[in-house]
Structure 1
């Protein structure tokens, strides 16, 4: 049996909680894992580094997208497989890989599943697995993280988004692989590694986390009317079919903004910036998935 580490967000739960995870691992023969619980995902990287230093050969992560992102930021390029027990609000990365919110099944996949090498994005020096964005989505996440998300889950995102639709746009200059691609007003810039947001809404068509490329989208929709049209078009087709949206695939992208705008990655808010620089790191992380996934 590999030397197994467990990095768990103590504030997240699914099924019978962390006690069920301990028991399930023990029944599978992992009786003494390197166990570490953190109160916030930002404390996870230090625990992952310690586990790797102690010889971990497999790292289980318990939590949501933010927790996975913090751990992947350290694990990328190390060659140590990642196993995920989805216990967050959206679990977009786990959902994109068809990983279950069922502890026994997730443990079985983590211990004995196939290994899939996946890309990660890196933006302003920090890696992400799902999406990074500046503008409306980041402000929405900041508001939802003020306690609403823990109380109301996904509904918190919808509620806070509705409050942000009247926000002022900013000007953006975007270079793709060294060439000018977009210049003009924008209300949201998204850089994705997978295609779907919660609810199964496809933001980026034909996105794959193992194609060596990132997805880039920018929208200049303003106000409730234009955003309603954009969201409706996305729900019945693709975001790129909206007249307010442009998308493309990139290896690297640089974004200059006219004013400081908050950005986020994998559902976690970050600071306000006027400059974003992102690139893809192909096949940087190994994830245990279902056989054939």
Structure 2
């Protein structure tokens, strides 16, 4: 099996030793490995698009941002696999990908294939989620140097700093042609958020639909209730949070507002989000 491994050396603060164990396990299992170290955001996409033959499988060795970079350069028909060494690894948690190098390598070599439909945000693929409002502000303003040093704590600090901005901007979000207003929204392909927190019990990677969570009330108190509910997996039960299934979503705002996808800033509103026509083949463990 020909395998291309895309490694982000800044993901999770860098995990060179675990990467070596992972690559060795692939090779001992019969894989022919081509390893590429990324140098900057977008580098994985550029590198993969320049390959005439990407192999049977491309492995994203990093976090959700690395995976996002990889899927935007992935050729049709090539399988995607994950080696979770990033900060949150939401997609890996969704798919129950093991963190131990030898076990993760076994999934690449011997796992089953799961078809997952990505979405596109203004033409760019994302696999897990996109966010506007508070969610996007947190991602946009996170200190990247601090993130490399303390991991998830950098996001917690950014969350605290952005609390008092919530409610200042109202967004128009159109869900499959139905216009609605909200003060923040998360458009998700999966159940989890920030690693282990259950964001939506209605979402699922195997479904051919997105789940749109809209925060329709202003005020710090409401936002704090939502965050508390997220911790215990009850976000969708908060009065004032609407959760709708959708295939196409558009978002507009009165001013220049950021948008995030898979945990990284990806541009500005307005945004058009829709499911792709064809799925991506993901390597996952046998149930």
What is the aligned partner in structure 2 of residue 20 from structure 1?
Answer: 21
Q: Tell me if the contact between 2:142 and 2:155 (Cα under 8 Å) persists in the aligned partners.
A: yes
Deviation at 1:204, TM superposition (A): 1.4
The 5-angstrom pairing of residues 185-204 of structure 1 reads 185-186=182-183, 188-198=184-194, 200-204=196-200
Q: Tell me if the contact between 1:166 and 1:222 (Cα under 8 Å) persists in the aligned partners.
A: no
What is the aligned partner in structure 2 of residue 276 from structure 1?
Answer: 271
What is the aligned partner in structure 1 of residue 53 from structure 2?
Answer: 54
Alpha carbons of 1:221 and 1:39: their partners in 2 closer, same or farther (altered >3 Å)?
farther
Between 8-17 and 141-150, the greater mean CA deviation after superposition: 8-17
Deviation at 1:15, TM superposition (A): 7.5
- Structure 1: 4+ residue segments shifted above 4 A: none
The 5-angstrom pairing of residues 22-37 of structure 1 reads 22-30=23-31, 32-37=32-37
Deviation at 1:50, TM superposition (A): 3.0
What is the aligned partner in structure 2 of residue 39 from structure 1?
Answer: 39
Structure 2 residues without counterparts, runs of 5 or longer: none
Structure 1 residues without counterparts, runs of 5 or longer: none
The 5-angstrom pairing of residues 1-293 of structure 1 reads 2-12=1-11, 13-14=14-15, 16-30=17-31, 32-51=32-51, 53-75=52-74, 78-167=76-165, 168-180=167-179, 182-183=180-181, 185-186=182-183, 188-198=184-194, 200-273=196-269, 275-281=270-276, 284-292=279-287
Alpha carbons of 1:262 and 1:189: their partners in 2 closer, same or farther (altered >3 Å)?
same
Q: Tell me if the contact between 1:234 and 1:242 (Cα under 8 Å) persists in the aligned partners.
A: no
What is the TM-score with the length of structure 2 in the denominator? 0.92
Q: Distance in 2 between matches of 1:146 and 1:35?
A: 25
What is the DSSP-based 3-state SS (H/G/I as helix, E as strand, rest coil) of the residue aligned with 1:277?
Answer: strand
Q: Distance in 1 between matches of 2:135 and 2:9?
A: 26
Deviation at 1:223, TM superposition (A): 4.2
Q: Tell me if the contact between 2:22 and 2:104 (Cα under 8 Å) persists in the aligned partners.
A: no
The answer to which structure has the higher strand fraction is: 1
- Aligned-residue Cα RMSD (Å) equals 1.9
Deviation at 1:227, TM superposition (A): 1.5
